[in-house]
Structure 1
């Protein structure tokens, strides 16, 4: 059996690497390498012949079939498409036709063609037990081909080309020119032609009994996970799941994953390679591997897993979108509070304090959105409506978000990814549950007013989404007003347009949910929720601890609606000053009095007190002869139980 390998200039070195495995696992009688002979030096030729015991020959791609060469292919392509064609496109088509053209010079009954970037990992029988040739495909049932290796009968190829030459509707004197003319110009440039499809479709119809179908398990993105030239150990590891690997040049190797996969201990922990890649790696991160690998490696692995996880969610979401029917129209809910929890961490217990605090002031509907996989505190189930992410129709925008994050070289910080993804989840809830005039709160927020009262004030002042502003660069979605789905989707379109750094075609690492909210409000001329009274600004100005002043164009935003509301909102600094931060300095148990360096409001200059309103206490700002309500606290230290309105204060 002769074996034909058609290789590009770039894959010559790869062939030197793979030739030993080809000889060992396929055992061809003779190997013919079709290539640009100018790229095959004496050392390369000697090395390949040595590996094959000398039974290898080289032939120039331009001389396989008379009249078939790179220049002729380029001329025909440019004639049909009417445009200049790249060298890559020209050589690609030349290699496709060489695969068939070799049939006119082959003296054997069959010849085996194999892609130059395909590497066998174990013995591949090209004939079945009865001596019939095998047709490899990736499903094993004949429904999918393109496995990268195929046993071709020259007489059938000649028969196919004769049929093509007889067609009067195709222009050209030679079969390969007629094939080009049978394709649409735009598809020509996209290189959609397939030798496999042409040959296999003809054989299935004309000679259905000649071949035996066999499944070939091919790992297509091996170059990314195993490297350009995988080690023997990595090939053995991949061989547990696959028959072959493809080392396609279009797949950029991931140094972090290659380094991790090259670790013997890691491969022992993960005996099943690739097919369960995402799920198994998540399990390992939280189990043995997290204890034995360096943090830097673990962090890189986390980024890669996050990317693959998003790709998996995109694929699953696309299937869900295709299968879901039209939602039954549900009654409109005008006014509610929505909290979300996504990501891998458990639902924190302080979420119960957040919702119970809401209930001290209002009976407004509270929706808590999370995954079915989460264990929900029993107290939370009694006071909030639980909505499962899996039960809601997935939106096109949410899928685009997954798709973008799965295709970048780097990735969002995992925390900021989930902080941004919640907006897409809220949009799906608003659409599927028919919600309008929604207040979204983060789970470490304590609210000190009837939410229905706040909603009425918000509806009077704002016609778009709004949140409290921290600085000109950051806005916090601690308390977020969303009038309706249209406004929310306008913001999501902005997120999708700005999550990508167009210069590097990668995640914009300077972008997170806080920055995008601030930019959105600024670029759309929208105001934030009020942050302080005007008297404070007149007396102290807006200056942070680093001596930086708030830009003049933002000053009105801080107090514009304070009098209308009779109070203001806390994006972060007041809660941090009163309770401290989540991450405290080493050896410090309580860092209350913390001053946020970015805040233009110096909380230490505020006279904040707790005022009793019946059986409930609320925080207020006393400013000279006035009192201003502080409608929320961002309890950054997560000790929400200390700031409940129903506890006794002295």
Structure 2
């Protein structure tokens, strides 16, 4: 089955950069894109996608249980901490209702530089049911997520609504720690020589996990650290902290929690046969394609 993309925007405030995200997906792919958002925002979408009203999506049992039990803060930034978790319930709703397989989900501030049909073939050949990048053992950044179907997603959602004191990144890592059902996408080349240790002192139990699928995908996936290094961070998130002297090198932001240091790499852009710009990192004399960039600053138009 041809892959599909499911995007979700929960909230009353429209994020215009969603249009850049969609445009970039379509630049590299010919696939159905399902976009779940409030019907009042439909007119703001510039590309041809399948628009699904968030008010009318048929909710699964998991979604109903989440809404019944959630004690998450609805006040911070348009209900941000609730919506980042609830999006997984909307994805489950849509996969079930539309009987989807080979589904990709991206955060709305992510730029895609890869062929998802080729990517889904790799997932299928390796019997992968869910995959995502992690930047340390306790944090999955769901910037680029693959679901074979709803099987693992439904288990994840049943797990998540039991905990209201953790965010989506922590919950996915906790779930995988317990059940080992999520394949870790490679975030560094397989010849990365340094110890995996963040600038804030976080270490890992098994370095292999952060590049073990590198030979399968022949590319790197950006959890968040590369996009933050190249494009900065959301200005709303900038606060003085004890790592302030470590977080910037040559005016580039270094993520304090990522166990690999993205300043160890150089970055170049190549133009493919269709005139599309594609980012690569260079390390140890080799160039490696980057399949996505997580543009935390929300300035996606600078990375087309």
Tell me the TM-score normalised to structure 2 length. 0.89
Correspondence for 1:514: 169
Correspondence for 1:485: 150
Indicate yes or no: 2:20 matched with 1:353.
yes
1:546 counterpart (192, 200, 207): 200
Correspondence for 2:98: 433
CA offsets, 1:333-362, max 9 Å, x none?
64101111112222x111111111111111
Task: Tell me, yes or no, if the aligned pair for 1:466 and 1:521 is still in contact at 8 Å.
Answer: no
Indicate yes or no: 2:261 matched with 1:602.
yes
Shift of 1:452: 1.1
| C-alpha separation in 1, matches of 2:9 and 2:43 | 11
Shift of 1:391: 3.3
Correspondence for 1:128: none
| C-alpha separation in 1, matches of 2:271 and 2:286 | 16
Correspondence for 1:535: 191
| C-alpha separation in 2, matches of 1:442 and 1:390 | 20
Structure showing greater relative contact order (alpha-carbon pairs closer than 8 Å, 6 or more residues apart): 2
Correspondence for 1:616: 276
Shift of 1:489: 0.8
CA offsets, 1:356-402, max 9 Å, x none?
1111111111111112132532413xx32111123332222111111
1:564 counterpart (195, 206, 216): 216
Correspondence for 1:337: 5
Indicate yes or no: 2:30 matched with 1:376.
no
Task: Tell me, yes or no, if the aligned pair for 1:578 and 1:592 is still in contact at 8 Å.
Answer: no
The residue correspondences of 1:10-409 to structure 2 (distance < 5 A) are: 334-346=2-14, 348-380=15-47, 383-405=48-70, 408=71
Distance 1:602 1:462, change over 3 A: farther
Shift of 1:592: 5.5
> Normalized per residue, which structure has more strand?
2
Task: Tell me, yes or no, if the aligned pair for 2:8 and 2:37 is still in contact at 8 Å.
Answer: yes
Q: Which runs of 5+ in 2 are unaligned?
A: 240-247
2:291 counterpart (631, 643, 646): 631
Shift of 1:411: 4.0
Q: Which runs of 5+ in 1 are unaligned?
A: 1-332, 500-506, 645-650
Distance 1:472 1:374, change over 3 A: same
Correspondence for 2:179: 524
Correspondence for 2:243: none
Task: State the superposition RMSD in angstroms.
Answer: 2.0
Task: Tell me, yes or no, if the aligned pair for 1:580 and 1:592 is still in contact at 8 Å.
Answer: no
Shift of 1:461: 3.0
| C-alpha separation in 1, matches of 2:63 and 2:19 | 28
> 2:23 aligns to what SS in structure 1?
helix
Distance 1:400 1:547, change over 3 A: closer
Question: Rg bigger for which structure?
Answer: 1
Shift of 1:600: 1.1
Distance 1:547 1:423, change over 3 A: closer
Task: Tell me, yes or no, if the aligned pair for 2:4 and 2:33 is still in contact at 8 Å.
Answer: yes
Distance 1:521 1:460, change over 3 A: farther
| C-alpha separation in 2, matches of 1:421 and 1:339 | 12
> 2:114 aligns to what SS in structure 1?
coil
2:300 counterpart (640, 646, 650): 640
Indicate yes or no: 2:80 matched with 1:422.
no
**Alignment length, in residue pairs?**
289
CA offsets, 1:101-144, max 9 Å, x none?
xxxxxxxxxxxxxxxxxxxxxxxxxxxxxxxxxxxxxxxxxxxx
Segments of 4+ moved more than 3 angstroms = 410-413
Task: Tell me, yes or no, if the aligned pair for 1:335 and 1:438 is still in contact at 8 Å.
Answer: yes
CA offsets, 1:252-279, max 9 Å, x none?
xxxxxxxxxxxxxxxxxxxxxxxxxxxx
> Normalized per residue, which structure has more helix?
1
Task: Tell me, yes or no, if the aligned pair for 2:6 and 2:35 is still in contact at 8 Å.
Answer: yes
